């Protein structure tokens, strides 16, 4: 009997260590709390973040043990908010070290060239957004693809808005410039500056669960009656 107790305890310890190792090294789950990344990410999207794609860090620290790659323009990343590192943000990488970034009248410029806007290629992204999640309602917004890369990504701008400007400024070494896809409703690098590379936690991979509403008391859990089944295993672009 005594041996069974110790064996059971040992198995539990091993299971906990394995789970913590996976979270530290490989993947971690996060929940989207706000609409700053609409229409790419919805409120109550549950996502997996790739922790190893950029490298391996000291557990619970910011020092890199080994680096495999650097974030690329258009990556959607999770990072520690520079003004309060107990808070995690998710945004899209817009400017890399050495880039000169400018944002004016809803137009993005990188190294002096305006980033192309084209008609949206994924209309379903905007269809998921609920009217009340955007100030003024969906009819007040322009939905398009911004071609940071060849694939482009879904972006929102509010019609008639005086869009907050930025730059032109050159991004320093070891820092990134990030923005939300919901451009007029995002607290990002335009307001508080650059993201240090050491603050990056990983790259967003896919939505594994999504719901319109959470449970009344356990607000971190999806209401099973409100699951958005069509978003399960939706890849984040």
Percent residues over pLDDT 90 in the chain: 76
Burial of 142: CB neighbours in 10 Å, binned 0-12, 13-18, 19+: middle
Domain ranges of the chain: 2-235
Q: Cis before residue 48, ω within 30 degrees of 0?
A: no
Q: Cis before residue 168, ω within 30 degrees of 0?
A: yes
Specify whether the backbone of 87 is left (phi greater than 0), alpha (psi in -120 to 50) or beta: beta
Q: Specify the pLDDT at position 130.
A: 95
**Are residues 143 and 126 in contact, defined by beta-carbon separation less than 8 angstroms?**
yes
Coil, strand or helix: which one is 155?
Answer: strand
64 band by pLDDT with thresholds 50, 70 and 90: confident
Rounded mean pLDDT, 10-31: 57
Rounded mean pLDDT, 81-96: 96
Q: Over 60: is that where the pLDDT of 20 sits?
A: no
151 band by pLDDT with thresholds 50, 70 and 90: confident
Q: Specify the pLDDT at position 153.
A: 95
Q: What is the mean pLDDT of the chain?
A: 88
Q: Specify the pLDDT at position 217.
A: 82
Active site residue 91: yes
Q: Over 80: is that where the pLDDT of 26 sits?
A: no
Rounded mean pLDDT, 55-62: 81
Q: Over 80: is that where the pLDDT of 141 sits?
A: yes
Which one from 51, 80, 91, 203 is the annotated catalytic residue? 91
Higher pLDDT, 20 or 45: 45
Which one from 2, 4, 34, 36 is the annotated catalytic residue? 36
148 band by pLDDT with thresholds 50, 70 and 90: very high
177 band by pLDDT with thresholds 50, 70 and 90: very high
B/e letters for 36-62, b = 16+ CB within 10 Å, e = fewer, are bbbbbbbbbbbbbbbbebbeebeeeee
8 band by pLDDT with thresholds 50, 70 and 90: low
- Inter-CA distances, 135 with 26, 157, 182, 189, Å: 37, 11, 11, 21
Q: What is the CATH number of domain 2-235?
A: 2.10.109.10
How far apart (Å, rounded) are the C-alpha atoms in residues 61 and 174? 17
């Amino acid at each position: 009997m005594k041996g069974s107790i110790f064996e059971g305890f040992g198995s539990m310890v091993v299971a906990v260590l394995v789970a913590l190792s996976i979270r530290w090294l490989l993947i971690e789950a996060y929940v989207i709390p706000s609409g700053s990344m609409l229409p790419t990410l919805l409120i109550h999207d549950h996502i997996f973040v790739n922790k190893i794609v950029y490298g391996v860090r000291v557990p619970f620290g910011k020092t890199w043990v080994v680096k495999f790659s650097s974030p690329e323009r258009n990556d959607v990343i999770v990072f520690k908010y520079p003004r309060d590192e107990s808070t995690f943000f998710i945004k899209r990488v817009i400017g890399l070290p050495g880039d000169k970034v400018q944002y004016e009248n809803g137009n993005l410029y990188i190294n002096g060239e305006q980033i192309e806007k084209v008609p949206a290629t994924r209309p379903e992204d905007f269809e998921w957004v609920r009217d009340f999640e955007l100030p003024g309602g969906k009819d007040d917004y322009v939905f398009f693809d911004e071609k940071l890369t060849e694939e482009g990504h879904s972006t929102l701008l509010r019609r008639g808005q005086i869009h907050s400007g930025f730059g032109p400024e050159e991004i320093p070494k070891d820092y990134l410039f990030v923005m939300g896809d919901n451009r007029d409703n995002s607290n990002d690098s335009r307001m508080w500056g650059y993201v240090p590379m050491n603050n990056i936690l990983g790259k967003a991979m896919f939505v594994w669960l999504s719901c319109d509403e959470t449970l009344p008391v356990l607000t971190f859990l999806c209401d099973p009656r409100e699951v958005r089944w069509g978003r399960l295993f939706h890849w984040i672009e």
